[in-house]
Amino acid sequence: MAFLTRFRNALLAWLVLASGVMWVASALGATDFDKLLATLTQRWGQGPIPKFNAWRTLIANSGSLSDNDRLKRVNDFFNRQMRFGEDADIWNQADYWATPMESIGQGAGDCEDFAIAKYFTLRESGVAPNKLRLIYVRATTGSAAGAPSQAHMVLAYYAQPEAEPLVLDNLINDIRPASRRPDLVPVFSFNTDGVFTGGAKDIAPSAGTGRLSRWEDLLKRARAEGFELTPN
């Protein structure tokens, strides 16, 4: 199936929105780190504890940092601590969005899992929720003209609502402005405020996330693990 057809079908499946349905946005609040650790060890044993402790320390030490420093530290942490793997190999599923605890427990994830883990961690570190968006993109896999592209997810940071975003990616360690990532073509983006179906510079969501089923399911699982979700 062609790349754009795949995304069109995904959008149709996830964004079938009933008119007049109101959606209350959720945001990360006072997370229960002890519960997170208990959830982690119950499922994966003692092995992931050092990685969890490093993650918690990363968050604790981010309070006095600038957003740019937070971005760099969080991006470096997950790009170094997690190995890339396909969902079929990690979860025995064609497409699975892992919570940060699941990614830490497995020590591996695909592009969605890297982006999601960075998103949650930056929120916990104090970055304002409206500055972060998860973006589905077409990623060109070569430099030659006509090189194939593949589905990919990155995390974007907006210093201001209309600013050019910075891109956090598991493919490269550098955090670059979107204009320096010509290999990425945005398809749609989302966060806990809603879904942005246009370009990267859209400043208001076009729909709620109520039918973005994988995202809603992930938020429920994260809440059960110990992440606290409160209204924006």
Mean pLDDT across 72-98 = 96
Separation CA 225–CA 203 (nearest Å): 31
The pLDDT value given to residue 229 = 64
Average pLDDT over every residue of 34-53: 97
* Position 198 confidence tier, pLDDT thresholds 50, 70, 90: low
Q: Is the pLDDT of residue 153 over 50?
A: yes
Q: For 181-191, how does the pLDDT look when each residue is reduced to its tens digit (9 = 90+)? A: 999 999 999 98
List of domains in the chain: 3-231 (3.10.620.30)
Q: How does residue 147 score in pLDDT terms, banded at 50, 70 and 90? A: low
Q: Please determine, for residue 25, whether its predicted confidence score (pLDDT) is greater than 70.
A: no
Quick check: pTM over 0.85? no
Those residues whose C-beta lies under 8 Å from the C-beta of residue 229, and which sit 6 or more positions away, are 26, 27, 28, 29, 219, 222, 223
- Quickly state the pLDDT bin for 95 (edges 50, 70, 90): very high
Residues 37-64, mean pLDDT to the nearest whole number? 96
The pLDDT tens digits of the residues spanning 201-232 come to 555 455 544 457 899 999 999 999 999 865 45
What average pLDDT does the chain have? Answer: 83
